[in-house]
Amino acid sequence: MAALRADPGLMPGAVEELIRWCGPTLLTIPRYAREDAELCGIPIAKGDAVTASIAAAHRDPRAYTDPDRLDITRPAGQPGHLGFAHGPHFCVGAALARVQTEVALTTLLRRHPGLALAEPAPRAPDPGTWRLAALTVTL
């Protein structure tokens, strides 16, 4: 928060890094195999449901240096995140989500210089998404 307050120009990169590090979509919607196939040595039978773990890809050390670390100044050259998926079903709302997040976080930090976490924030009991059940702050 201090870095973003000191240099609001870091916000676009911070939004991308937040989506990588704690984005809301952990898994893609399941797809069903139309024929027998094999993926990375794992047999997939026709009709099997397959889901891709976006969260696991985002913590892949082959793709990101120190992947568990939230680093809003990640150097260019590391791959972009998969938080909006990839290919023909790439999120149609990605541009809107990016700008909304950027505006909301920038405004929040500007309006509330004393913003701080009041107590640990519990995660909602939902295995498919990453979201909080509550976020109590002091202003």
Number of Cα atoms under 13 Å in the Cβ half of residue 111: 8
CB of 71 to ligand HEM, least distance (A): 19
Quick one: which segment of 19-27, 62-70, 72-80, 126-134 binds ligand HEM (CB under 6 A)? 19-27
> Residue 23: which of 87, 84, 90 has the closest Cα?
84
CB of 114 to ligand HEM, least distance (A): 26
Q: Does 28 bind ligand HEM (CB under 6 A)?
A: yes
Q: Does 80 bind ligand HEM (CB under 6 A)?
A: no
> Residue 104: which of 6, 7, 2, 14 has the closest Cα?
14
Q: Does 29 bind ligand HEM (CB under 6 A)?
A: yes
